Structure 1
Amino acid sequence: MRSFTRFFALCLCGACAQAPSTTPPSDAIRLNQLGFYPDGPKTAALVDAEATRFYITTPDQQDTVFDGDLSAARQASYSPRRVRLADFSALRDTGTFVLVIPEVGASTPFRIGEAVYREVTRASIKAFYFQRASTDLPERYAGSWQRPGGHPDTQVKVHASAASPERPEGTVLSSPRGWYDAGDYNKYVVNSGITMGTLLSLYEDFPDHFAHVSLNLPESGNPLPDLLDEVLWNLRWMLTMQDPHDGGVYHKLTTASFEGMVTPQQATHQRYVVQKGTAATLDFAAVMAQAARVLRPFEQTLPGLADSCLTAAVAAWQWAEQHPAVVYDQEALNQQFDPDITTGAYGDKNFEDERLWAAAELLVTTGQEQYFRAVEWFPEDHIPLPSWAQVRALGYYTLIRQDTLPPVAQEVLPRLRQMVQAMADTLLADVDAQPYGTVMGQSPRDYIWGSSAVAANQGVALLQAYRLTHDDAYWKGAVSNLDYLLGRNATGYSFVTGHGTKTPQHPHHRLSVSDGVEAPVPGLLSGGPNARAPQQDHCTSYTSDVPDETFSDDDCSYASNEIAINWNAPLAYLTGALEALHTPISTQPR
């Protein structure tokens, strides 16, 4: 190795300058704050600073292990920032390093090594444990974030909008468990849909890997993998949201309005199940059909549960066939029924995608051709990125991962595979010209409410294409978006609480705000930059209106700094899949 101190002095102005022993950190250098795989891509960004060379050194900056040229400056059409990239992918040494740009400063330390995303994978899944309703979280499992249980949800009332002859208004139901949806304490079937589908797919795609991933849950040590133990907490709640008399599914379990920034045990307002709807019922059908398939091998541990899930899925499908267009319109609902409901609406008016997803899951689980014939498989010539309101891609992902399908369904597979690859190719287009070198951010339209989930779902889509083709370009594109989420972005934040050197400390998250612990609950994915956030939440702490910078680490900023289960799920998939694809199972002790 070269002595960096002497080299640094010479590079500034030859023998005339005395170099300091170390270069101070600079926020102008943005990179993945956790690190890199030895054989993977490694890139850092320099923002709004002039320089030509960079150096990778030991943490004490005494030895240089790699040096290279910075790229020419790049600039997005929607940002005034000029960004230069440092590519050190050729460095395969393992250990802890810093990146130094003498004229600017140094990065914080990062690691190059195997299983570099093991802990953030575990944390992103364990985050769901911290969102559990209806149970105590003991210190043994929750550490500093231990808390008494809240929301037993054994005395939930049927709201007037959900009343039926068998369950009239005011009927008391028991609907415990489930995950708090986001920064609030309510539970929503629609948002649980994409969340559960993504987590079940993570297990379904990498079962051998996740048999070895321990999360320190109360259930750890039983025959079920910990990922599925956590999924079960929400699955059992979802089963209670189906009306057994007709198969329809209630849209959500909620208080009439959001409660304050208080602990769960202090949040004691009456809770209701609200209106059955087509979106919730089809999302439920898809989740239950997939769960039946995933849980079938664990019949001895979970006797009868797979059968119960499939029975529930079929009943939900039948209800949706009879009620194909029941929209959850909260404003209209409040004009007709009391009390008014003002919590998250998750309203959707187009159910074509939910129906396709449910049909795909039922087709694969049952093998019955009726589900294949029930939908138009190609309503468009492209695949929209998944979101809670657009789940068609989840059905496509399910079909392309199967080794066998009924003969009639085989005919669509070539086109589906082509469409998934075309989706990935679109995401990769011009990525090499992007200021931060990430797939995320090619358009200002990426910076919406929950933009971090946009980045994560883009990564999931790229990994689906990689699993089909084994083309490293897709894998590298997915890595670039994890780099984005962990610090190589216009804000300089790693958006995952507790993972990185600059992470959100004040998310809009009632559990974190009210628990008396200085650090927020770890492993949560903050929503990220949102170009319209100031108009949506009216928080006054934003310091920039540039789309990729409109973020505030302030709990008032629910439009940029809230958390949500449907954002954490693709983060778990992205990090977990990268670990499963890269890290031998033998290095993943339980």
Structure 2
Amino acid sequence: MTMSRPAYKIDTAHPGSDLAGETAAALAAASLVFKKTDPTYANTLLTHAKQLFDFANNYRGKYSDSITDAQSFYSSGDYKDELVWAAAWLYRATNDNTYLTTAEQLYNDFGIGYWNVPFTWDAKSSGAVALLAQITGKQTYKDSLKSICDSLLSRQKTPKGLTFIDQWGSLRMVSNAAFICVQGADLGINADAYRQYAKQQIGYILGDTGRSFVVGYGTNPPTHPHHRSSSCPDAPAVCDWNTYNSASPNFHVLTGALVGGPDSNDNYKDERSNYVSNEVATDYNAAFQGLLAYLLKNNL
């Protein structure tokens, strides 16, 4: 007897505008990276980005309504922000005004400028605001970006100075938010305040208050990140639940990985089983690394 597996896919009958739109945005952005060094590859990326955006826009819906197994782990809040995000990136990559017109129309239709939610794997509205502000220079987008960032700077901080947005991946959340705001700084929006804020938050992450939250870097860095491969010994040694539950440090140092981070009172436990505070992920590191590069480039 064979067991059928659920279909982990989106199609016209089972849409996923957020999944397709996010992928379209990533491919469009990547095409810009490879445009000069490998134009053939860049064109391939752009072709698929266009196809995915057309699919996302024409067949609308949340991917987690189509791939229901994802609902317990990565349920999508909405797909509208990813459509705007994708259209804006396609304009950046193509200079085709059709995409800009679409991005601005959807932005207005969906009221994206009023969302003011943190920038995460699931929420791209603040990124879309920043991107449209960069592309168009229009005051309406700049004003929305200023509102987002001024609100961030006024948020509650932990006793040691971390802006606390959410418990799950607290450092990821502030890195992402600060990265959005330094884009505003480059547009002349509260430039000194946003850059100094970003520097202070990065300082917290790198160890200014006594410990680093980056694996393999600085003072007393995490040694038990919730990460499968780095916690396992080399084969053929056994890697099982005893390994997972061991108090020993991970067998391999996952250098450069940003862990989730502390709670609202700066409490943090370097425990492998604590996936809320000690998990690592690509979306944790992406804007964090971008922010580091920004600070380095600007000698901050």
Q: TM-score, normalising length from structure 2?
A: 0.80
Per residue, is there more strand in 1 or in 2?
1
Alignment-mate amino acid for residue 500 of structure 1? G
Richer in helix (by share): 2
TM superposition shift of 1:400 = 3.1
1:101-157 Cα offsets, whole Å, 9 max, x none, are xxxxxxxxxxxxxxxxxxxxxxxxxxxxxxxxxxxxxxxxxxxxxxxxxxxxxxxxx
The alpha-carbon distance between structure 1 residues 371 and 422, as it changes in their structure 2 partners (threshold 3 A), is: same
Partner in structure 1 of residue 184 of structure 2: 465
Q: What does residue 296 of structure 1 align with?
A: 35
Q: Look up the equivalent residue of 2:114 and give its one-letter code.
A: D
For residue 280 of structure 1, what is the aligned residue in structure 2? 19
Paired residue for 1:572? 289
Q: 255, 274, 288: which one pairs with 1:522? A: 255
Partner residue in 1 for 2:56: 320
**C-alpha distance in structure 1 between counterparts of 2:158 and 2:78, whole Å:** 34
Q: Distance in 2 between matches of 1:425 and 1:482?
A: 18
Taking the aligned partners of 1:498 and 1:462, their CA distance within structure 2 comes to 28
Deviations 1:302-330, CA, capped at 9 Å, x for gaps: 24111111110111112112320143248
Measure how far apart 1:424 and its partner are: 2.1
1:382 CA drift (Å): 5.3
Tell me the equivalent position of 1:377.
107
SS in 1 for 2:257: coil
Cα displacement string for residues 29-65 of structure 1 (whole angstroms, at most 9, x for unaligned residues) = xxxxxxxxxxxxxxxxxxxxxxxxxxxxxxxxxxxxx
Q: Deviations over 1:412-435 (max 9, x none)?
A: 72111222223222222378x974
Displacement of 1:488 in angstroms is 4.2
The answer to whether the 8 Å contact 2:115/2:125 transfers is no
Shift in Å, 1:478: 0.6
Q: Which residue of 2 aligns with 1:502?
A: 220
Deviation at 1:474, TM superposition (A): 1.5
Secondary structure of 2:126's aligned partner: helix
2:162 is the alignment partner of 1:423: no
Question: Alpha-carbon deviations, 1:431-451, whole Å to 9, x = none?
Answer: 8x974345x13xxxx242111
Q: Residues of 1 paired with 2:286 and 2:117: CA distance?
A: 18
> What is the correspondence of 1:315-394 to structure 2 with a 5 Å cutoff?
315-329=51-65, 333=68, 345-374=73-102, 375-378=105-108, 379=111, 380-381=113-114, 383-394=116-127
Q: How far apart in 2 are the matches of 1:430 and 1:479?
A: 17
| Distance in 1 of aligned mates of 2:68 and 2:117 | 29
Q: Is the Cα–Cα contact under 8 Å of residues 524 and 563 in structure 1 kept in the other structure?
A: yes
Q: Does 1:556 align with 2:284?
A: no
Consecutive unaligned residues of structure 1, counting only runs of 5 or more, are: 1-157, 164-242, 249-274, 335-340, 403-409, 531-546, 584-590
Name the residue aligned to 2:237.
none
Measure the CA separation in 2 of the matches of 1:350 and 1:430: 24
- Structure number with the bigger relative contact order (C-alpha 8 A, sep ≥ 6) is 1
Whole-Å separation in 1 of the counterparts to 2:83 and 2:129: 12
Q: 1:451 to 1:434 in 2, by over 3 A?
A: closer
Q: Which runs of 5+ in 2 are unaligned?
A: 235-249
Within a 5 Å distance, the mapping from 1:261-276 to structure 2 comes to none
Choose 1 or 2 for highest CA Rg. Answer: 1
**Cα deviation digits, residues 58-108 of structure 1 (max 9, x gap):** xxxxxxxxxxxxxxxxxxxxxxxxxxxxxxxxxxxxxxxxxxxxxxxxxxx
**Structure 1: 4+ residue segments shifted above 6 A:** none
Preserved CA contact (<8 Å) 1:455 1:485: no
% identical equivalent positions: 27
Aligned residue-pair number? 275
The answer (yes or no) to whether the contact 2:217–2:256 under 8 Å persists in 1 is yes
Q: Retained in 1: the 8 A contact 2:159–2:266? A: no
Superposition pairs for residues 53-202 of structure 1, below 5 Å?
160-162=6-8
Q: Is contact 1:449-1:529 (8 Å) kept?
A: no
Aligned mates of 1:485, 1:394 — CA distance in 2: 22
